[in-house]
Structure 1
């Protein structure tokens, strides 16, 4: 996780495990059920916008309903938001060289400024004729300028267009397909001719020593792609004047690094259990918004969207608590509690909320960038909880996770009879 620049106080908590009560055993059993499902192969890492994320959202919504929460999304428990809008080659987009059909997205890609039109001709490397397709060797382009490669491709295309070229094909580029696909998120002004980038295997054919002329046929067409994520939002309405937001992100990055991604199944599981406990509690002086955020791995897009399109009045929010990867609190490891400088009341509340099993040691340090940041920017006091991130279900320390959950619950308990917390901005 990447650190943000605010210097917020950090609290380190040492955990000691003691005998469990019956309610604790029930809570741990529920945590295991939630984490086993959310980290299962079926969900494929819960990447935002992917089918696994939708399965996770449905599961979380069902658990919120079972726990008696009121739907507080824009579609029941669900709140959908757009992460980004990009493009990809449409089904009608094609390219052939000497009647060999190239695979769009693997062997060739149109550049983002390409005209959506056809071009064909008998082209030869190094021979640039009017009314014909130009084959441009990227290795021969002067790259000494301050321009990016995309800007250089655009510049070369504009030069070719002014010289009468009907289209351009760039070969010997060092970019990967993934990098060129990323360029399609941009929407520059189109040129008047098709512009295509080809992969390394196609470049080798065009760059062969015995290469002659090539029959090239191009048809460029784009398809707009909108990638969306889904927050899951439940509400406990105590008809109180203030509301507490409790959140955790449930998305991960898919199968990039692990085959059984836990991050942040532990925080999401704890979120569901805190919701269950609060809905059956005597703590009625605050309302509770329970939010499972998606899009954390895409620039906090889910929490940013919720903070900008909240289904509750943010001016009435008392504070926000964020749990981000709390599943690996082993004996001797530390629990990070960030954000204690966002309200002058936090220090005393944390002291009241701790027990002999949870002694606090204060430190001065930074805080990782996570979903609480979206609420800090709205002048709302925040607390952030995190441990080392477990990468699979069998690495979860359930006793440690339970202790973090109980600490969060104790904080909510100790603020039940207090006035609305004052907000303090943090300066570098």
Structure 2
């Protein structure tokens, strides 16, 4: 589906103006943000600015106060990194090779001492920026799951929390620049429009649109405050929870964890459409997204009377991740908690495809080493180099299948 941006804003205005107000659904928000007219919402583009305007208008119609540096907006100008170890310079002057990102901030004021930050990034990869896994002709990467889904659930929570759970204020944030290195959230933490010492905790939603049939939901950061794990478990009657202690991960909650703020990051898993043009609105599980929103609301409600949560440092699991020179060319199923490493997708013209491996195969042996989980798979993989050949054993529908891998 493709509309002009002007027509989409007519939809927005007609949906959100005077009484009676049309309820804007999670699907409505995803459909707007992932439409071709926004051209993939790459940071600094007109499409991303249109998305920011949409979110600001939604905040306004939800009755949220503007909490940026320019109304609902917090702009930041930066020069992109030329190598992965370089620190981004936010203080550059407008000029050649600079980009301006836009965070969008809405505040629900309960006149409380502390504030809960609820956030999601809204930028994506445009026509295929760095990080795209698409191989083929130039195409729009709409990012319906990544991360129109998180923004839509955030907006749904903003509606739910009006006049509820008033022992905290709520700052709702749509982050720019996440795909370029958590730039928007990092900038906010260093240039906050509220007192960061009074941030109670932060909830991040990044890719929450593909809840699978087994209802597996990953929650990261459960170790960043002592009460989080028991609260999550107390309200779970639906999900198969995969809980990770660490507050460090490849999404915006990391910026807040690094500022000693407890975090929770919700995630329904990667898939074959990740960072590809095929991540479209019609592939999302909207009932699942509503269930996730309801669950997060229950967790927030439970924590409402607990005051300011204590922060706890966690082990940085990413520091233990082995470095490897080769890959199978698969998308692992990070939500799989059985024995082995289950393949959730196969990349074209890569070793796994050439060896005849299939989506759903569970790698149980690579070379002479047994694979019991994701970490053991990565440790084994790190021992191989380009040109090596080895045997892989997979569990395919209960039967062991062997194949030869050429890296």
TM-score bucket of the superposed structures, by smaller chain: 0.5 to 0.7
Distance 1:361 1:261, change over 3 A: closer
TM-score (norm 2): 0.62
Q: Is the 8 A contact 2:205 2:265 kept in 1?
A: yes
Equivalent residue, structure 1, for 2:220:
338
Q: How does 1:243-254 map to 2 (within 5 A)?
A: 243-254=115-126
* Matches for 1:61-80 after TM superposition, within 5 Å: 61-80=56-75
Q: State how far apart, in whole Å, the 1-side matches of 2:173 and 2:127 are.
A: 24
Aligned to 1:298: 180
1:266 aligns with 2:149: yes
User: How far 1:369 sits from its partner (Å)?
Assistant: 1.2
The structure whose RCO (Cα within 8 Å, separation 6+) is larger is 1
- Counterparts of 1:39-118 in structure 2 under 5 Å? 39-84=34-79
Report the Cα offset of residue 350 of structure 1: 1.0
Partners of 2:177 and 2:244 in 1: CA distance: 30
Corresponding residue number in structure 1 for 2:299:
411
**Alpha carbons 1:80, 1:228 under 8 Å: kept:** yes
Rounded to whole Å, the distance in 2 between the matches of 1:353 and 1:29 is 27
Name the counterpart of 2:238: 357
Q: Is the 8 A contact 1:246 1:320 kept in 2?
A: yes
- 1:27–1:295 Cα change, 3 Å: farther
How is 1:19-418 mapped onto 2 (pairs within 5 angstroms)?
Answer: 30-84=25-79, 224-256=96-128, 257=134, 259=140, 260-262=142-144, 263-279=146-162, 281-332=163-214, 334-354=216-236, 356-358=237-239, 360=241, 362=243, 368-389=249-270, 391-418=279-306
Greater shift after overlay, 49-58 or 345-354?
Answer: 345-354
TM-score, normalising length from structure 1?
Answer: 0.59
Decide whether aligned partners of structure 1 residues 28 and 322 sit closer, same or farther in structure 2, where only a CA change above 3 A counts.
farther
Structure 1: tracts of 5 or more residues without a match: 1-25, 87-178, 187-222
Report the structure number with the largest CA radius of gyration.
1
Which residue of structure 1 aligns with residue 321 of structure 2? none
SS at match of 2:173: strand
Q: Could you tell me how far apart the structure 1 residues matched to 2:171 and 2:247 are?
A: 27
C-alpha distance in 2, partners of 1:397/1:77? 30
Tell me: CA distance 1:85–1:386, structure 2 relative to 1, closer, same or farther (3 Å): closer
Q: Secondary structure at the match of 1:224?
A: coil
RMSD (CA atoms):
2.7
* 1:366 to partner: Cα distance: 8.9
- Distance in 2 (CA, whole Å) between partners of 1:224 and 1:361 is 45
Partner of 2:310: 422
1:85 is displaced (CA, Å) by 6.2
Distance 2:102 2:245 in 1: 35
CA contact (8 A) 1:337 1:385 kept: yes
For the 8 Å contact 2:221–2:244, the answer to whether it is kept is no
Q: Residue 77 and residue 415 in structure 1: after superposition, are their counterparts in 2 closer, same or farther (change >3 A)?
A: same
Counterpart contact for 1:336–1:386, Cα < 8 Å? yes
**TM-superposed deviation, 1:411:** 1.2
In the superposition, relative to structure 1, how do residues 46 and 383 fare at CA in structure 2: closer, same or farther (>3 Å)?
A: same
Query: CA offsets, 1:64-98, max 9 Å, x none?
Result: 00000000000000000123169xxxxxxxxxxxx
Distance 2:22 2:169 in 1: 22
Instruction: Kindly provide the CA deviation profile for residues 279-317 of structure 1, in whole angstroms up to 9, marking residues without a partner as x.
Output: 1x4210000000000000111000000000111101111
Summarize deviations over 1:212-239 as a string: whole Å, max 9, x none. xxxxxxxxxxx63321100000000000
Of residues 239-248 and 250-259 in structure 1, the stretch that sits farther from structure 2 once superposed is: 250-259
Contact in 2 for aligned 1:27/1:402 (Cα 8 Å): no
Shift of 1:359: 5.3
- What is the SS of the residue equivalent to 1:63? helix
Deviation at 1:326, TM superposition (A): 0.3
Q: Per-residue deviation at 1:261?
A: 2.6
Q: Deviations over 1:3-31 (max 9, x none)?
A: xxxxxxxxxxxxxxxxxxxxxxx999611
Call closer, same or farther: CA 1:375–1:39 in 2, change over 3 Å.
Answer: same
Distance in structure 2 (CA, Å) of the matches to 1:239 and 1:382: 22
The CA distance in 2 between the partners of 1:364 and 1:55, in whole Å, is 36
